[in-house]
Amino acid sequence: MYISKRQSFLVPFPRISDGAREEYSYTGLWLRPFGLFKQDLDVDFNQKIHPYLVTQILQCCTESKNEETPDQSFFWNLKVGKRIECLLTIAALSSDLSIIFKCFNEACNEQIEVDISPGQMVSLFQEADEKDQCAVQIDGEQIAFRKPTGSDQLEWANTSFKDQNEAIKAMIRTLLLDESASCSKNIPVSDDWIKPVEGALEEIDPLVNFSLRVCCPYCEKEFRYEINLEEIILRKLHEAQLNLLKTVHRIASYYHWSEEQIFSLPPWRRSHYLGLIEKEADQ
* Phi, psi for residue 256 in degrees, rounded to 5: 60, 35
Dihedral sign (CA 235, 239, 40, 129): negative
R_g of the chain computed on alpha carbons: 22
Q: How far apart are CA 100 and CA 114, in angstroms?
A: 6
Dihedral sign (CA 123, 146, 208, 206): negative
Q: At what angle do helices 50-61 and 150-157 cross, to 10 degrees?
A: 150
| Res 1 pLDDT > 60 | no
Q: How far apart are CA 88 and CA 210, in angstroms?
A: 13
Which burial class, exposed, middle or buried, applies to 250 when counting CB atoms under 10 A from its CB (0-12, 13-18, 19+)?
middle
The tens digit of pLDDT for each residue in 102-141 reads 999 999 999 998 887 766 676 666 666 667 888 898 877 8
The tens digit of pLDDT for each residue in 25-82 reads 445 788 999 999 999 999 999 998 999 999 999 999 998 877 677 889 999 999 998 9
Beta-ladder partners of 17: 22
CB 131 within 8 A of CB 155: no
Beta-ladder partners of 223: 214
The tens digit of pLDDT for each residue in 176-230 reads 886 554 455 566 788 889 999 999 988 888 888 888 888 999 999 999 988 888 9
179 Cβ contact list (under 8 Å, min separation 6):
144
Question: What pLDDT is stored for residue 125 in this prediction?
Answer: 66
CB 174 within 8 A of CB 244: no
Amino acid in the structure at residue 239: E
- Closest C-alpha among 43, 49, 56 to residue 154: 49
128 Cβ contact list (under 8 Å, min separation 6):
81, 204, 205, 206, 207
| Res 21 pLDDT > 80 | no
Q: How far apart are CA 195 and CA 263, in angstroms?
A: 51
Which position has the higher pLDDT, 11 or 278? 278
CA angle 116, 5, 122 (to 5 degrees): 20
Q: Give the SS3 label for residue 145.
A: strand
Q: How far apart are CA 283 and CA 276, in angstroms?
A: 11
Question: What pLDDT is stored for residue 22 in this prediction?
Answer: 38
Amino acid in the structure at residue 69: T
Question: What pLDDT is stored for residue 98 in this prediction?
Answer: 80
Go through the chain and tell me how many residues it has. Answer: 283
Question: What pLDDT is stored for residue 63 in this prediction?
Answer: 87
Q: Where are the domains of the chain?
A: 4-98+229-282, 126-204
